[in-house]
Amino acid sequence: MVYVDGQLLPEKDAKVSVFDHGLLYGDGVFEGIRFYNSRVFKLEEHIDRLYDSAKAIHLDIGMDHAAVCAAVCDTIRANDLHDGYVRLVVTRGAGGLGLSPYRCETASVIVIASKITLYPEENYRDGLKLVTCATRRPTADSLSPAVKSLNYLSNVMAKIEAIAAGAEEGVMLNTQGLVSECTGDNVFVVKDGKISTPPVSAGILDGITRRVVIDLAREAGHELVERDLSRYDLYTADEVFLTGTAAEVIPVRVYDEREIGDGKPGPVTTEMMTAFRSLVESTGTEIYS
């Protein structure tokens, strides 16, 4: 069952217009949200970011915050799910051909709830292989990286490069040649016990899982800084791990054919994985209460 503009419809009946601006121009915003043990993790934070993204592109969602939260939980319940992933999409809606958004009278809100397995379990045990992608992260003066928009073509192109190189993920650089983020995940490095991650100014999406891990690391007493990172910093790191809603916290074993540390998940990475999984299993918005 898929939520489309106030209705829960069977998958085969869940459709959008061919004149929808999200389809024609990538004009819209989205969120990926996880739920565990019948609780939606960081639901309020995800919906807050959805509204911030929509405001930034001058898109009126047409529903209040509470109604969108309710739509997420309603969709999960309609599918009788307890652990999984939600894709929440807001498009500009149907209008005519042409770029003007003002021909779209009403935004379209779509909620899909399903199971997800982004990476096999062995990647969490052994780590990912990463490569540097030629496709650069879009610059902030074209579209703010804080906007989680439907236009992910640069990420798709970078993912194609990573797959072609036999890697699970690709590292995207910004126009200065510094590490920005991966195609769908934020990047952390550990060197001499200190944790570093690129700042928002590096052209990254300020991921919600990223924020959670920063808080967990500092609460555990780790020194963590947000600073510019080069490929050299990743090549010579003791540990590298990625964070993302779908990926959660996952280690990296190889980057550009350089083994990270001893090629196995390090103690800080393992600690963050354990702490994150403990948190998501015990907190969140109740779905079936």
Q: In the chain, where are the structural domains located?
A: 2-114, 121-280
Q: Which residues contact 218 (CB under 8 A, 6 or more apart)?
A: 224
Q: Any idea which architecture 121-280 has in CATH?
A: Alpha-Beta Barrel (3.20)
Q: In this structure, are residues 132 and 170 in contact, taking their beta carbons and an 8 Å threshold? A: yes
Q: In angstroms, rounded to a whole number, what is the distance separating the alpha carbons of residues 117 and 139? A: 31
pLDDT, residue 110, reads 98
pLDDT, mean of residues 215-231? 97
Q: Is the pLDDT of residue 139 over 90?
A: no
Cα 251 to its chain centre, rounded Å, is: 16
Residue 179 contacts residue 136 (beta carbons within 8 Å): no
Answer yes or no: 148 catalytic.
yes
User: What's the pTM value of the predicted model, to 2 decimals?
Assistant: 0.94
Q: Do domains 2-114 and 121-280 have the same CATH topology?
A: no
Q: How many CB atoms lie within 10 A of CB 186?
A: 24
| Per-residue pLDDT reduced to its tens digit, 147-185 | 999 999 999 999 999 999 999 999 999 999 999 999 999
- CATH number for the region 2-114 comes to 3.30.470.10
Q: In this predicted model, what pLDDT tens digit does every residue of 32-75 receive, in sequence order?
A: 999 999 999 999 999 999 999 999 999 999 999 999 999 999 99
Which distant-in-sequence residues (6+ apart) come within 8 Å of 267 by Cβ? 239
Q: Which of 55, 148, 159, 191 is catalytic?
A: 148
Q: What distance in Å separates the CA atoms of residue 187 and residue 207, rounded to the nearest whole number? A: 10
Helix (H, G, I), strand (E, B) or coil at 6: coil
Q: Does residue 289 register a pLDDT over 90? A: no
Q: What is the pLDDT of residue 130?
A: 98
pLDDT one-digit tens code per residue, 67-123 = 999 999 999 999 999 999 999 999 999 998 999 999 999 999 999 999 988 899 999
